[in-house]
Structure 1
Amino acid sequence: MRTILLTLTLIQAMLFAHAQDSTFTNPLLPSGADPYSFYKDGYYYYTHTTANSVVLWKTRSLTDLQSAQRTTIYKPTENNAWSKDVWAPQVQFLRGKWYAYFAATGGKNAQHRMYVLENPSPDPMTGTWTFKGQVTDATNKWAIDADIFEYKKELYMIWSGWEGDVDKQQDIYIAKMKNPWTISSERVRLSVPEHEWEKSGQKVTVNEGPQALFHGKKLMIVYSASGCWTDHYALGLLRFSGKGSLLDSAQWTKHPEPLFKTSVANKVWAPGHNSFFKSPDGKEDWILYHANSQPGWGCGGKRSPRMQRFTFTKDGIPVFGEPVAEGVRLKKPSE
């Protein structure tokens, strides 16, 4: 009898270990705002805001970030226009080279602009990262949160910017690029905070963190709305008609309701500033985002990266559901 009990205990332990190995829980790291990942040759290259540098993680699975290889690929020198407040870096492989985009200032928020680094090495964890300079349109206005994507063999940049020079409203802009570090067209404004769920934040209203999302031939932009300092930070959606030019704002439609927002029941507040990735086998769609574990935590260092699988409606609208509670075991992305 004792032998049987020991065998059953061993089996239970093995089953528990297998379940632990095939599942994960959120958050992925104790902290890390504005998470982003890029998948290439079997590895995910992950970044998030560190405020003073661009740090890159390399891993087979984003669920293993805590033990993943990491390196600082860039730390700006002091006393220049991009020395401080390094926000929302993204490392992407474009046109045969690696590029790292980030927003930074010389010390004042009004100075925020977008900058880019380049690395020709096949592995972005090695080789030399060269500072290519500022990425801007002719207006050279305040700009953060750039995402670069390709549509019909043309490169485009989307970002959050100011219409003027005063911090009162952040809008979503798009422009065409002639190469990964040069904008070649005028900027076009695609979205302004107009619905009540986009305007929480007192004097400053916010549309930021735009990310391109493709589903078949459909192109969408998912963005974050309302101030990150509020518990009402949420995700909105812009859809391209598929006709005409991406630079024609009339071809873009805004979804009237947020697609992802605070879940008091699950104790997840202010989910947003997301990015997207596919499972290693390419069959599953996943959203990577940050959120707070308590109300009122705002934009500080307590925001943590999380991920969960999502699907699409028959009309191609992403269905993110509710942000999953911490500690809930989720099945890892399919391999």
Structure 2
Amino acid sequence: MLRSLICLLVFLTSAVQAQDTFRNPVLPGGPDPWCTYKDGHYYYMHTMGNRLELWKTKNIAFLKDAPHKTIWTPPASGAFSKEIWAPEIHFIKGKWYVYFAADNGDNQYHRIYALENSSPDPMLGVWEFKGKVADIEDKWAIDASVFEHRGKLYMTWSGWEGDKNGRQDIYIAAMKDPLTIQGKRVKISSPQYTWETKGDLRDPNLKHLDVNEGPQMLKYGKQLFIVYSGSACWTDDYALGILVAAEDSDLLDPSSWKKRAEPVFRQSPENKVYGPGHNSFFTSPDGKEHWILYHANDHPGDGCGNKRSPRIQRFRWDEAGWPVFGKPLQTDTLLQIPRS
């Protein structure tokens, strides 16, 4: 009898621990991960390439068990039919929006497009294609993200200054509404440090590719941070950099943004994590824990494909109000789930 009770206790303890802990990755594969939290659920997306897929879960650590569905399939041909990249879902002014990059099969025509859904639950209702979201210059653009600050809406993205590849910069623009950019784009970051310039371009006509991409807003205290990815995504040197601006500054003034010279999150060969990048942020359901969601590879040279898997880990803030991400953790690290 006693032995049976002990076995039952061990089983129950293991079951509780299994519910309270997890290991990365949260999915076997999934580049460019993004999530947002609303009304008790996380909504998650990543690059699928040929469609837009949406996950819904109460705990992002258990994403593998979450229901998911295709919310949009592109047409067979046309300007937004191929290379569906970096989707993000946002709840803005009472409606859901998904922003993503797409082209016609030729990378030079990548632009930002949007879907809209008025259902309170984005897994329900109708997702309506709303067309291209572009500034008046309408140059190459990927990795769009939208945020609100002091009642104003902004979009950030990675783009080309001209019409040729070779360098990706970070741009910001004001938005009139969730589907309309107002005024001109403003460049706030270009690759300037060595760590941002790793990776030969896969084009015989070009020798090098300098990259700033995947900009993500992170607010804390009286500062606004944009965390972005630098260097070519197919290199192990792909890493995260950071820009900072004061909360009361003009966000459309490039001089408001200051860049840290060194990356804030980079590969950790000792932990067998390579090319960590293209992140987003979320808090625990109780709002007290701060987490980073990012993709990374398990082996050097795994490249810029579907071997990249989404991982999450907590980060802290230093006394100056800057995020401290530490190192990307080993995939065999047992972690506590985000606190409810």
Contact 1:230 1:298 in 2 (8 A): yes
1:73 matched residue in structure 2: 71
Contact 1:213 1:221 in 2 (8 A): yes
1:98 matched residue in structure 2: 96
1:280 matched residue in structure 2: 285
Amino acid at match of 2:277: G
Amino acid at match of 1:157: M
Q: Deviations over 1:275-304 (max 9, x none)?
A: 000100111100000000111011011100
Aligned match for 1:305, one of 299, 302, 310: 310
Q: Deviations over 1:239-289 (max 9, x none)?
A: 003343100000110011111010111101100000000100111100000
1:31 matched residue in structure 2: 29
Distance 1:241 1:154 in 2: 15
Distance 1:96 1:300 in 2: 35
Q: Return the offset for 1:316.
A: 1.2
Q: Deviations over 1:71-108 (max 9, x none)?
A: 11111111110000000000110011000100000001
Q: Deviations over 1:131-169 (max 9, x none)?
A: 111000011000000010001100000000000111100
Distance 2:95 2:24 in 1: 32
Aligned to 1:49, the other structure's residue is in SS state coil
Counting matched residue pairs gives: 333
Distance 2:12 2:168 in 1: 52
Q: Give RMSD over aligned pairs.
A: 1.0
Aligned to 2:46, the other structure's residue is in SS state strand
Aligned to 1:246, the other structure's residue is in SS state coil
Long gaps (5+) in structure 1: none
Aligned match for 1:323, one of 315, 328, 336: 328
Q: Return the offset for 1:5.
A: 4.2
Aligned to 1:78, the other structure's residue is in SS state coil
Q: Return the offset for 1:218.
A: 1.7
Contact 1:104 1:112 in 2 (8 A): yes
Q: Return the offset for 1:67.
A: 1.4
Q: Return the offset for 1:6.
A: 4.1
Aligned to 1:206, the other structure's residue is in SS state strand
Range with greater deviation from structure 2 (241-250 or 82-91): 241-250
2:57 matched residue in structure 1: 59
Aligned match for 1:183, one of 160, 164, 181: 181
Distance 2:319 2:72 in 1: 43
TM-score by length of 1: 0.97
Amino acid at match of 1:317: W
Contact 1:243 1:251 in 2 (8 A): no
1:206 matched residue in structure 2: 211
Amino acid at match of 1:224: S
Distance 1:244 1:282 in 2: 26
Amino acid at match of 2:229: S
Q: Are 1:135 and 2:133 counterparts?
A: yes
Distance 2:152 2:315 in 1: 28
Amino acid at match of 1:164: G
Distance 1:222 1:136 in 2: 22
Q: Return the offset for 1:64.
A: 1.6
Aligned to 1:64, the other structure's residue is in SS state helix
Amino acid at match of 1:149: F
Q: Return the offset for 1:63.
A: 1.3
Q: Return the offset for 1:19.
A: 1.3
Q: Deviations over 1:170-218 (max 9, x none)?
A: 0000000000010002100010111111110121110000000011332
Q: Are 1:195 and 2:200 counterparts?
A: no
Distance 1:66 1:186 in 2: 41
Distance 2:326 2:337 in 1: 17
Contact 1:201 1:229 in 2 (8 A): yes
